[in-house]
Amino acid sequence: MFATVACSSSEEPGEGTKKVEVFTWWADGGEKAGLDGLVGVFKTDCADYEFLNGAVAGGAGSNAKQVLASRLQQNDPPDTFQAHAGAELSDYINDDQLEDLSAQYTEWGLTNAFPKGLIDNLTVGGKIYSVPANIHRANVLWSNKTVLAKAGITKDATTIDGFFADLDKLKAAGVAAPLALGKDWTQQMLFEALLISKLGPEKFNGLWNGSTPWTGAEMTAAINDYKRLLTYTNKDRDTFDWTDAEKLLMDGKAAYQLMGDWEAADLDAKGFKDYGWSVFPGNGNVFQWLADSFVLPKGAKNADGTKCWLKTVGSATGQAAFNQKKGSIPARTDVGTDGFPAYQQAAMADWKTATQVPSCPHGSACAQTWQGAVGSAQGKFSSDGDVAALQTALASAAAEFGPKK
Ligand code: GAL
């Protein structure tokens, strides 16, 4: 095959285009570094095509999701876009927006390359509609080592009570808001990590499959603990993206941040070395997972080029290049640990033995409508702290958007 020079001077893809527009929200830091790693492999493996970066920055993904929704509605899809495995992917499948990739799975030998559970999360009605790029872990507590040392904290807390005690120590040592927090889905993540500790993995899973009620006393107790946790966070949280909260940690104004492991890549990309990590206190050996995957939307202008992109995403070389920079681990089971930073090597080991639970804000546990309802209930709670109102709103969201009995 001959490498092709872009045949059009326009940046817009069109009929007969060689460009493959890849739509993500990975515009900066470790996320951009991960994408760049994948693009490097695409350039070699798909020299007939040209990568067109369709990343939409800002709002940590929420801007991108809005733009994507309106483009899909106007029948103007990008050639491919990122979508989370699980319920979020089903949204697009049920709306008939994606092409079936089952034939490509057979052709590229992907069917046995990924764990069976993940394949199940990507399959609807016996067909498979996307190629996973990674597995991220959501329930990680990042820390600033110097701030912890100054407050005399030498060990990671393993229970919620131990965590409250450490947060109190930090406050006493003059760290006014030791737990850095952002808005929207970042608050959902913190609440879910706490729920995993309070309910245990089985009951936590039950919140999403309908077997655990949102109305019980255990949930009330968890919301009360969450309310207490918020008292250790920055008051301006509702104006902060996850990267603004991360900056508080880097600047030593906070000691901790609960965030997915894209934070490892982002701290590395920003050159901040003084960080530690642990599983969120009380989560034990639970791995709260999410997976980014890429799709072939119906009506994509360059379906052949997109298939080449998807083949790269699913390849062992593509997954190594992407995940070494993205903070996540390969979804494929045959990629070795060589070349991965220490954090990911530890996550790769954990993934093999841990109990897996999904994430609602990152699509593996719930559809986007449900996520939106939880998000607004928590946003309201962030300003009014009304425990009963939050519990009622969460229960109605589950009744409206959760599995029907
Ligand atoms: C998640 C996505 C991750 C990371 C994160 C923060 O939804 O799966 O790859 O990008 O958002 O932007």
Residue 7 predicted with pLDDT over 60: no
Concatenate the DSSP letters of all residues of 375-395 into one string: HHHHHHHHHH--HHHHHHHHH
Residue 187 Cα to ligand 1 midpoint, Å, equals: 14
pLDDT at 12: 54
pLDDT at 58: 80
pLDDT at 61: 86
Residue 62 Cα to ligand 1 midpoint, Å, equals: 10
pLDDT-derived band at 15, boundaries 50, 70, 90: low
**Rounded Cα gap, residues 242 and 61, in angstroms:** 11
Residue with tokens 């009014």: 384
Give pLDDT tens digits for 111-156: 999 999 999 999 999 999 999 999 999 999 999 999 999 999 999 9
Using the 8-state DSSP alphabet, how is residue 60 labeled?
Answer: G
pLDDT at 37: 97
Give pLDDT tens digits for 173-187: 999 999 999 999 999
Residue 92 predicted with pLDDT over 60: yes
Shortest-distance Cα residue to atom 12 of ligand 1: 60
pLDDT at 1: 31
Q: What is the mean pLDDT of residues 332-341?
A: 96
Ligand 1 binding residues, C-beta < 6 A: 25-26, 31, 60-61, 84, 136, 260, 262, 290, 292, 362
Residue 315 predicted with pLDDT over 60: yes
Shortest-distance Cα residue to atom 4 of ligand 1: 262
CB 314 within 8 A of CB 113: yes
Q: What percent of the chain has pLDDT over 70?
A: 96
Q: For residue 252, what are the CA distances in angstroms to 174, 247, 255, 262, 265?
A: 11, 8, 7, 20, 19
**Rounded Cα gap, residues 147 and 274, in angstroms:** 10
Give pLDDT tens digits for 258-305: 999 999 999 999 999 999 999 999 999 999 999 999 999 999 999 999
Shortest-distance Cα residue to atom 7 of ligand 1: 362
Residue 17 predicted with pLDDT over 90: no
Atom of ligand 1 nearest to the CA of 292: 8
Give pLDDT tens digits for 341-390: 999 999 999 999 999 999 999 999 999 999 999 999 999 999 999 999 99
**Rounded Cα gap, residues 362 and 51, in angstroms:** 26
Residue 326 Cα to ligand 1 midpoint, Å, equals: 10
Concatenate the DSSP letters of all residues of 9-45 into one string: S-SS--TT--EEEEE-S--SHHHHHHHHHHHHHHHHH
Q: What is the pTM of this model?
A: 0.95
To the nearest whole number, what is the mean pLDDT of the chain?
A: 94
Give pLDDT tens digits for 234-253: 999 999 999 999 999 999 99
Residue 55 predicted with pLDDT over 60: yes
